Structure 1
Amino acid sequence: MSNIMFFILHEVGSINASLQLANDLKTRGHQVTYVGLADSEELIKANGFDFVTLFESHFPKQSVQTLTGQGTLRRGLSYLRWLPRKYFIFRRFVDYLIAGGDEEFFAVTDKLRPDLILFSGGPYVEWPALMSFSRGIKCVYLCSTLSLRRGTGLPPVSSAMIPRYENSLWQSARVWLAWKKFNFENMLHFFGHRKCTRQLAAKYGIDKFTHDTVYSKDASVTLSEIIPFHPDFDFLSRPLPGQYFIGASICLERREEEFPWHQLDTGKPLAYCALGTYLWYGKKKYVRFFRAVLDAALAMPEWQWVLATGGSLHWDEIGTVPKNVLVVKNAPQIGLLKRASVMITHGGANTVKECILLGVPMVIFPLGGDHPGIAARAIYHGLAMRGEFTKIDGAKLRSLIRAATTNPYIRIQLRLMQTRFIDVEAAKLGVKLIESLLASGRCGDAEVGLQRG
């Protein structure tokens, strides 16, 4: 059996997307160890895995939330002031690595002797990927969402566009503009990243850590990509080199929050509402949205409701709560989805996959990031209804819920996609892919995995 190492920047979505694959590898007898920043330790250990903390002097606990914007809203001048502060923090970190701080990483790899490292959590994992590459360690990316590339004719996953599959000049222009917008936002958000990457690569004498193809990628460091999605969820497209789909890879047994289950009325259908861990709007807009949810709940007393406010606001800031609504900060999502008749969601990749796997229709309110593209695919396949976060009211939400729960087309399409998800989950393609990568001469020679289209 082999030693497998997961290096994941602290994003709850990225960690959750890795847990089922890690569990399957562990069950097969492989040694699995997570390595990362201090913020990840509690969640990883709670799910039964060994964890090694790295670079704590630069990234102590609670630092990742500040650097990535999790739980903090930054817009306009606040965002522009934050960007250079973030850059100089990472600039100092890369200088530390170049000056010899990379030995902290190498000491861990020398001890663990990994046969393969899976990296996840955004562009910054390219730096430890370069370190691993310099020592000849096999490594791949584990994506937490769909990984789109330019040159496929599809818009980026940040776009709400649904392709019409016709060679029209107008659609080509829209796709081109969507990628230009995406590239500009990425360049701004990750200002200075490519320069830091080139300088670190130069330390190891690596000048060919990236290559250009007709399907150009966002990552500077080119590695094969493992996509924990069923390719049938994506829009139709040609297979992409170096991408391997392994199915939804949802960990249904992951550790979740404590919850007052006894307060639920099990005789009523359950509507569950949660909007993820990131803040995309100001408090007033969240209050307005949650008031719309409560208004809908008040008008639908025959339903039981659970509302998870996350980090957006405290429960007592949304006003009077109807008797059929239970408001919590965080909720055990898998446990609730097993009982839910509908979910009101932001359209995060993991949440949408979990709803499909458990057969729960959705009303999606995309907030940012990959939400518009994930929502667009859910709408395209007839799995959900979509609303506008800033324009919703109780009456509109009731109408969307009725459509999501009573439309026979949504019910049939959801059942078909759920069956595809379940079949692939049972096949354990992720484990087969990893073992194929381990047996191959290099990462990129595997013969396992689902294809697009």
Structure 2
Amino acid sequence: MARVMIWPDIYREQGHWLPCVNLANSLHSAGYTVNFMGIPDCSDIISQYGIPQSPILASVYPSGYSFENKLEPIDQRWKPHHLLPICRGELDDIFLGPSAPDLLISGYFTALETLIIHRKYGIPFIIVTTYLRHPDDTPRLHAKTKLVYMPRAVSQKIIDAVSPAPGLDIDQFIEPLRDRLELIPCPRAFDFTDDDWTHGDHVKYVEPMIERQWLGGGPLPNDPTDIPTDKKLIFGTSGSQVQDYEFKARQFFSNLIAMMSTHEMDKYHLVLAVGDKLLAQLSVEYGIDVDRHNNRLPKNVSLFSWVSQLDILKRAEVVFMHGGLATIKESIWEEVPIVIVPHGKDQMDNALRIRRSGIGVVSEVADLTPQQLRGLFTAATSNKWIRQKLAKMKALFQVEESKAPKPSIQLIQSVVAP
């Protein structure tokens, strides 16, 4: 039975990890043995699904790193600090010996790390890209950019440490990433179809990888959030990378909270997933830290660090979001109209995809008043065409998800058989 190791991201980015939980279940069903590896802060993402995870790089990224940036340069989330330890054998226990994996499935954002592992241990690998990247933004370019922007002496030390002979230049070193099989867990129908938006033949759109279950089947624990059942839900999120645009996200959440005090919004209940840091800040701002029950937060609003989005979306009338692909796919799956207020990164492109596909409404202004947000809410929930477009897009998603074997598994089997 072939062993597969999955490494979705170095950091705690649920939008990158959760699609790989779906992939892990598909691999398990196809006869593979599946394991994850990740820094300590990522363990609880995986453990609730019964999937084993090998902890790595704990000396570089100790528990709590995701919530308190402890390394320099300040505010730069990706660090080079872990690369040389990998070169020196930090992962020997995983990739050497009789239980070493036969295949590494790695996220786009770990392309350089995966290349180092491939060079050092000779393990085959596949890339999973959990966002809709531009055709020019290849994993190869991503790895090269990291090497180019570190001191030349450091990049050459990394290259020489895992190459068969010293002296390779950067382009020679990254060559194994050229035309490497790359899976994009989203049906092609949601991406741009312009003539200049074409990937190479090695890049494959596959099933959306949305639903998750306990490895091998069985129910998941119930989401422990205490949310009223007698009101229609509105869901709001800025995703798992909220620290990258903290000011915008906080303003977005504050205005959504204020929206819930406008006319006739007492019929609805707003559920906000705001992340650990903003939850602490908003708890102070609204007096929740002093009294959980008698405070300045409107009674029709609940704040959480993180929730099971699929559970919430099953009941939601609309989702206000930043524009991350994982939340968009889950909203399509549950046919929930989308209000997208992009905060940055690929979210601008995703807003355009939402507009083109007709499955929601888009704001081009990040700093919206409560009244403007209320107007977007009305526009999203009162438009029957949005519901029809959502149903059509979900049907396309279901076609890919229901294929047997799944498109991803067929492609993985072409690299390493079960």
TM-score normalised over the length of structure 1 = 0.74
Kindly provide the amino acid, as one letter, of the partner of residue 304 in structure 1. Answer: H
Matches of 2:23 and 2:132 in 1, distance apart? Answer: 17
Structure 1 residues 73-116: Cα deviation after superposition (integer angstroms, max 9, x where no partner): xxxxxx97555xx78x625x444444xx22x3233122423221
The sequence identity of aligned pairs, in percent, is: 24
Structure 1 residues 235-289: Cα deviation after superposition (integer angstroms, max 9, x where no partner): 013342321111211134476752114x232xx4321112123224455x55543
CA-CA distance at 1:305 after TM superposition: 2.2
Matches of 1:309 and 1:131 in 2, distance apart? Answer: 35
Q: Pick from 251, 255, 270: which aligns with 1:292? A: 255
- Which ranges in structure 1 are unaligned for 5 or more consecutive residues? 70-78, 151-155, 158-181, 212-218, 441-453
Match of 1:225 in 2: 182
> Does 1:149 pair with 2:135?
yes
Matches of 2:178 and 2:199 in 1, distance apart? Answer: 20
Matches of 2:304 and 2:65 in 1, distance apart? Answer: 25
Counterpart secondary structure, 1:401:
helix
> Does 1:343 pair with 2:319?
yes
* Conserved? CA contact 2:341–2:366, under 8 Å: no
Matches of 2:106 and 2:53 in 1, distance apart? Answer: 15
Counterpart secondary structure, 2:266:
coil
Match of 1:191 in 2: 149
CA-CA distance at 1:344 after TM superposition: 0.5
Q: Pick from 241, 245, 248: which aligns with 2:208? A: 248
Match of 1:140 in 2: 126
Match of 1:108 in 2: 94
* Conserved? CA contact 2:236–2:273, under 8 Å: yes
Kindly provide the amino acid, as one letter, of the partner of residue 144 in structure 1. Answer: T
* Conserved? CA contact 1:127–1:200, under 8 Å: no
Pairing 1:39-438 to 2, within 5 Å after superposition: 39-66=41-68, 90-91=80-81, 93-98=82-87, 101-102=88-89, 104-111=90-97, 112-120=99-107, 122-123=109-110, 125-150=111-136, 191-192=149-150, 196=154, 198-203=156-161, 204-205=163-164, 207=168, 208-211=172-175, 223-236=180-193, 237-253=197-213, 257-261=223-227, 263-265=228-230, 268-277=231-240, 278-281=242-245, 283=247, 286-298=249-261, 299=263, 300-310=265-275, 311-312=277-278, 313-318=281-286, 320-388=296-364, 390-427=366-403, 428-438=406-416
Deviates more, 1:270-279 or 1:340-349: 270-279
Match of 1:5 in 2: 5
Counterpart secondary structure, 1:304:
strand
Deviates more, 1:235-244 or 1:344-353: 235-244
Matches of 1:366 and 1:358 in 2, distance apart? Answer: 21
CA-CA distance at 1:220 after TM superposition: 6.8
* Conserved? CA contact 1:252–1:334, under 8 Å: no
Cα gap change, 1:63/1:2 in structure 2, threshold over 3 Å: closer, same or farther? same
Kindly provide the amino acid, as one letter, of the partner of residue 260 in structure 1. Answer: D
Structure 1 residues 50-81: Cα deviation after superposition (integer angstroms, max 9, x where no partner): 11122322222223555699xxxxxxxxx975
CA-CA distance at 1:221 after TM superposition: 6.9
Matches of 1:231 and 1:68 in 2, distance apart? Answer: 39
Give the superposed CA RMSD: 3.3
In the alignment of these two chains, the number of paired residues is 381
Matches of 2:317 and 2:160 in 1, distance apart? Answer: 54
Kindly provide the amino acid, as one letter, of the partner of residue 90 in structure 1. Answer: P
Kindly provide the amino acid, as one letter, of the partner of residue 409 in structure 2. Answer: V
Matches of 1:223 and 1:131 in 2, distance apart? Answer: 15
TM-score normalised over the length of structure 2 = 0.80
Counterpart secondary structure, 1:314:
helix
Counterpart secondary structure, 2:415:
helix
Matches of 2:3 and 2:307 in 1, distance apart? Answer: 34
Cα gap change, 1:38/1:190 in structure 2, threshold over 3 Å: closer, same or farther? farther
Matches of 1:244 and 1:197 in 2, distance apart? Answer: 31
* Conserved? CA contact 1:347–1:364, under 8 Å: yes
